Structure 1
Amino acid sequence: MRICKGFFLFILFFGCYVAGAQNKQLLYDFNEIPQALMLNPGMETDFDWFAGMPLLSGTSFQFGSSGVSVDDIFADDGLDINDKIRERVLGQMGINDELSGTYQIELLTGGFRGKKNTRNFYTFGVYHEGDAIGYWFKDLAFLAFEGNADQLGKRFDLSHLKARGEMLNVFHFGVNKQMGRNLTVGVRGKIYSGIFNFQSTKNEGYFVTDQGQNNLLANILVANMRLRTSGINAIENTLDNETVVGEVIKRGFFGGDLGVGVDLGFTYRLNEQTYITGSLLDLGFLYHTNDIKSFTLQGNATVEGIELILPQDAVNSNRDFWQDLVDEVEALIPFEENNDAYISLRPTKLYASLRYDFGKNLETRINCDCSYLYSSRDVRKRYTNSMGGQIYIVNRPRGPQTAVTAFYQRRFGNGLSLKTTYTADKFSFTNIGLGINLQAGPVNLYAMADNLLAYQNIAASRYASFQLGVNIISWGRK
């Protein structure tokens, strides 16, 4: 049963890594799609109301590996797999290389315009999200693969171990307000309901083998390491009676850890055709008090192996020399467990863009006699073409991670819109993406995919992402 539990938790965590949509550069500032408001609560909108199809309105997945691909290791190229690991993984990957991803599934989403003040647009909903990242633990991997033979005096850095992950539900309510002709701002409040969390990001210390005094070699370990977890033990315990789904649902609907956060955003019109936008997302935290289990390893020890005192120890058959060694190490570097509450910060994201619209004017999508609307709010002109640039920054354990994007969008009337992007980040310098938005009456459908050039050989790709959704949108009665 312990093997089954370990396998389940591996799959659970691995699912966080391989599924995700972190940088949604195709969706950002795609004004025709309501879900773009989740990336910028201050986006300009002309909807009267919208409703997302539950579980279908916004689904996104992403996987990124900055150091190595599946094909690098497992390709049938005639090379020995041990040589490929030694050359392509141990020899090339650094401590800033990562395996990361997030996923997001909208459970409920909607929005409506204020009746008394049509400059206000309100959004609400709940979505399920998972996020995880693990950095390459270079020295520890080298130690495990090559051992410490012939490595006299080399310090293996324990700080290379950095990983974090979480699964949670997010309940949100936002207000989008047109402040005047040129400025639209937005704010969204969030309540986080944590399902599970793990983090080990503040590790310090080293392991080194040096010349010994009583034996030939001495192994020195200086450690200050910590792993914090919340919710994992509760999920693991439900595997025996097969109620894990119920436990996940319970913890995701206020039965787990709780936290709060906020999203901020704006759109500023420099002139009739030029816009600058920006947003700050998930500025918040979770307070973990439920089902906490944390582990620490702190101290230092110098061990020269099993020491024998002859001839006394040669005739002492009752002495367990190995256990004596283990007890000595544990006394010097105690491995402890605790249930202390802790706080985890969300991976805060920053978006910004500059957009220029040009081409023919398009008819307004507001299907009504809009004289009273125009008197209370300014509805911008729409053009067939848009182009510009975007920047994206996300806070990660080893510091901010940045991506830059150039985009072009083409609208074919009010029914069809295409957007293409070129993005450069740590995963790829050849990331070309394509998004399509289709409006068939009140039904809105969109689909987006990144890194299209890599689809020729998925196994060789270090990045993959897609998004899709279905909404019902109204621009008012005729």
Structure 2
Amino acid sequence: MRLILVFLLVYLSICAQLSAQNKQLLYDFTDIPDALMVNPGMLTDFEWYVGLPIISGVSVQAGSNAITVHDLFAADGLDFNDKVMDRMIYKLDENDHLSSTNQITLFNGGFRGRNLNDFYSFGIYSETDGIGYYFKDYAILAIEGDSIQSPRSFNLNHLNTRAEMVNVFHFGINRKIDKKLTVGARAKIYSSVLNFTSTENKGHFITTEGERNLVANTLDADLEVKTSGLNNIVDAWENDRSQLPGIVARRMFFGGDLGFGADFGFTYHLNKKTVITGSILDLGFVYNSTDVKNYTLKGSATIEGIEAILPVAPSDADKDYWQVLVDDINEMVPYSTNNDSYITFRPTKLYGSLRYNFGKPIPSRRGYDCKDYVREGRGYDSYNNALGGQLYVVNRPKGPQAALTAFYLHRFGNAMAIKTTYTVDKFSYSNIGVGLNLQAGPVNLYLMADNLLAYNNLADSHYASFQFGLNIISWGKK
């Protein structure tokens, strides 16, 4: 239990605060095949595509909504300990958090079916996702201690965290229903590497004046930390690190806990130039049953310290009064472990957008015969300009987190496209991003980065993000 708590404290205290990954630059960027991963119902005109392993889709994101590295380590003449206390320990509150969602695509591809309205996609990617809310009362109790002069109730529900690493196997279908509507769905199998979660804690700790002693400490606790797959990894790290790659590899490929999920999305043309889109991702769960170890602390007790009854105590010198106190606490607030399996739900994400296309039409590269072209019309034509707005929401333990984005996209023929975004969320009100897509024959390369205004001083930045990918695309023969 001590190792798990230390891990949680280090994870929450030292790591930079990370924001849940919003792929606003990639979303509805229909020139890029990887955009199917954030909307399985986007418009597609590819005959087939394949992503190069490992580098076909990489996304990393980090930021802080309350404190930066510069706040603590700047050479400003202030004492470091004072800065930690004033700018972190007391400034942050229990709703400040770190959260992260990072992905690496191991393999992906797609192809058009015999029915030209159907496009199939498939692949494997590895994802880590975690969130930890700042445990303010725990930190203050550890630093200040409790006081009878100014009694305060310390909330135990400030411990609220979860993290997981999963490998995701997916297969999707994208179907053009008619010239106005395109829909898509994707099935997913999750192969979990590890999970820990502690999100439903309750209780308090308070010190008051005692009746039989100077002080009375009251603990009312309902705490639980659930772990799956973590203990074997910790054991391997401490005893034989050469086993770690094998453990992780087996669990990534169906040797760990399994789960199932789905994505859904659509694109709908209100008219020839106005388009709305939407998607919901990771409606799913994982059944955690491998290497499970859970830790609980449940009960209520009021303790007034070590009580030595005089004059009997001196004659009972062999009595361990400290151990008696510990035993009494364990009896009233029992600490226990178990190996019960449990279910965790994936962090569901929601996207939506309204886009207006204008300027010069750019015909699709897709190859049609005359019959198909007449039947389908020019429904896949794009324009060299588009602007609009996007909404992003992710489900988290203390409620949803949202972001709003305004964007402008410009295409330079079929060879290059640039998308610029301005995003407002909890972490930044000045997040400007740029995404560049290059098409050199069949080779597709894209690079994307957020919060560009802060890149001149990353240490003082609240947010940084980048994505890149490399794909081979075919549109068939004209």
Contact 1:454/1:461 (CA < 8 Å) preserved in 2? yes
Instruction: Return 236-245 or 170-179, whichever deviates more.
Output: 236-245
Q: CA deviation at 1:153?
A: 2.8
For residues 371 and 359 of structure 2, what CA distance do their matches in structure 1 show? 28
**Correspondence 1:319 to 2:338:** no
Q: CA deviation at 1:373?
A: 3.1
- Residue of 200, 208, 211 corresponding to 1:210: 208
Instruction: Return 73-82 or 106-115, whichever deviates more.
Output: 73-82
Judged with a 3 Å threshold, the aligned counterparts in structure 2 of structure 1 residues 342 and 221 are, in CA distance, closer, same or farther, namely same
Q: CA deviation at 1:12?
A: 9.4
**Correspondence 1:134 to 2:135:** no
Q: CA deviation at 1:420?
A: 0.7
Judged with a 3 Å threshold, the aligned counterparts in structure 2 of structure 1 residues 208 and 20 are, in CA distance, closer, same or farther, namely closer
For residues 46 and 384 of structure 1, what CA distance do their matches in structure 2 show? 16
- Residue of 132, 146, 149 corresponding to 2:147: 149
**Aligned residue type for 1:93:** L
Judged with a 3 Å threshold, the aligned counterparts in structure 2 of structure 1 residues 215 and 18 are, in CA distance, closer, same or farther, namely closer
- Residue of 173, 176, 188 corresponding to 2:174: 176
Secondary structure of 1:86's aligned partner: helix
1:426 is aligned to: 426
Structure 2 unmatched ranges of 5 or more: none
Judged with a 3 Å threshold, the aligned counterparts in structure 2 of structure 1 residues 431 and 223 are, in CA distance, closer, same or farther, namely same
For residues 372 and 175 of structure 1, what CA distance do their matches in structure 2 show? 24
For residues 442 and 211 of structure 1, what CA distance do their matches in structure 2 show? 77
Q: CA deviation at 1:7?
A: 9.8
1:119 is aligned to: 117
For residues 331 and 253 of structure 1, what CA distance do their matches in structure 2 show? 43
Q: CA deviation at 1:365?
A: 1.8
2:217 is aligned to: 219
**Correspondence 1:399 to 2:399:** yes
**Aligned residue type for 2:168:** V
**Aligned residue type for 1:59:** V
Q: CA deviation at 1:312?
A: 2.2
Secondary structure of 1:457's aligned partner: helix
Contact 2:353/2:389 (CA < 8 Å) preserved in 1? yes
For residues 111 and 355 of structure 2, what CA distance do their matches in structure 1 show? 26
**Aligned residue type for 1:284:** G
**Correspondence 1:385 to 2:385:** yes
Secondary structure of 2:314's aligned partner: helix
Secondary structure of 1:43's aligned partner: coil
Judged with a 3 Å threshold, the aligned counterparts in structure 2 of structure 1 residues 236 and 190 are, in CA distance, closer, same or farther, namely same
Contact 1:16/1:102 (CA < 8 Å) preserved in 2? no
Alignment coverage as a number of residue pairs: 474
- 1:10-54: CA deviations, max 9, x gaps? 999999977887100000000000010000000011111100000
Contact 1:21/1:104 (CA < 8 Å) preserved in 2? no
2:348 is aligned to: 348
Instruction: Return 99-108 or 16-25, whichever deviates more.
Output: 16-25
1:82 is aligned to: 81
Q: CA deviation at 1:425?
A: 0.6
Secondary structure of 1:243's aligned partner: helix
For residues 121 and 369 of structure 1, what CA distance do their matches in structure 2 show? 15
For residues 451 and 309 of structure 1, what CA distance do their matches in structure 2 show? 66
Please give the residue correspondences for 1:220-235 in structure 2 after superposition, counting only pairs within 5 Å.
Answer: 220-235=218-233
For residues 85 and 15 of structure 1, what CA distance do their matches in structure 2 show? 12
**Aligned residue type for 2:230:** I
Contact 2:148/2:215 (CA < 8 Å) preserved in 1? no
- 1:319-367: CA deviations, max 9, x gaps? 222211111111111110000010000000000000001111223322x
Instruction: Return 205-214 or 354-363, whichever deviates more.
Output: 354-363
For residues 328 and 344 of structure 1, what CA distance do their matches in structure 2 show? 34
Contact 1:118/1:376 (CA < 8 Å) preserved in 2? no
**Aligned residue type for 1:290:** T
Contact 1:99/1:135 (CA < 8 Å) preserved in 2? yes
Instruction: Return 316-325 or 9-18, whichever deviates more.
Output: 9-18
Please give the residue correspondences for 1:16-415 in structure 2 after superposition, counting only pairs within 5 Å.
Answer: 22-115=21-114, 117-149=115-147, 152-239=150-237, 240-241=239-240, 242-366=242-366, 368-378=367-377, 379-415=379-415
Judged with a 3 Å threshold, the aligned counterparts in structure 2 of structure 1 residues 301 and 21 are, in CA distance, closer, same or farther, namely closer
Judged with a 3 Å threshold, the aligned counterparts in structure 2 of structure 1 residues 103 and 11 are, in CA distance, closer, same or farther, namely farther
Q: CA deviation at 1:374?
A: 2.0
For residues 165 and 149 of structure 1, what CA distance do their matches in structure 2 show? 34
Instruction: Return 85-94 or 423-432, whichever deviates more.
Output: 85-94
For residues 380 and 225 of structure 1, what CA distance do their matches in structure 2 show? 55
Secondary structure of 2:270's aligned partner: strand
Q: CA deviation at 1:71?
A: 1.7
For residues 328 and 375 of structure 2, what CA distance do their matches in structure 1 show? 77
Secondary structure of 1:251's aligned partner: helix
Percent identity between the two aligned chains: 55
For residues 290 and 230 of structure 1, what CA distance do their matches in structure 2 show? 6
Contact 2:432/2:453 (CA < 8 Å) preserved in 1? yes
The CA RMSD over aligned residues, in Å, is: 2.2
Instruction: Return 355-364 or 40-49, whichever deviates more.
Output: 355-364
For residues 47 and 141 of structure 2, what CA distance do their matches in structure 1 show? 61
Q: CA deviation at 1:154?
A: 1.0
Q: CA deviation at 1:233?
A: 1.1
For residues 307 and 120 of structure 1, what CA distance do their matches in structure 2 show? 77
TM-score (norm 1): 0.95
Contact 1:386/1:409 (CA < 8 Å) preserved in 2? yes
For residues 230 and 17 of structure 2, what CA distance do their matches in structure 1 show? 19
For residues 150 and 77 of structure 1, what CA distance do their matches in structure 2 show? 37
For residues 281 and 68 of structure 1, what CA distance do their matches in structure 2 show? 30
Judged with a 3 Å threshold, the aligned counterparts in structure 2 of structure 1 residues 411 and 451 are, in CA distance, closer, same or farther, namely same
Contact 1:17/1:102 (CA < 8 Å) preserved in 2? no
For residues 7 and 97 of structure 1, what CA distance do their matches in structure 2 show? 20
Judged with a 3 Å threshold, the aligned counterparts in structure 2 of structure 1 residues 15 and 320 are, in CA distance, closer, same or farther, namely closer
**Aligned residue type for 1:98:** H
For residues 398 and 144 of structure 1, what CA distance do their matches in structure 2 show? 24
Q: CA deviation at 1:74?
A: 2.1
**Aligned residue type for 2:206:** V
- 1:247-285: CA deviations, max 9, x gaps? 001001000000000000000000111100000000000
For residues 205 and 178 of structure 1, what CA distance do their matches in structure 2 show? 53
Structure 1 unmatched ranges of 5 or more: none
For residues 468 and 222 of structure 1, what CA distance do their matches in structure 2 show? 49
TM-score (norm 2): 0.95
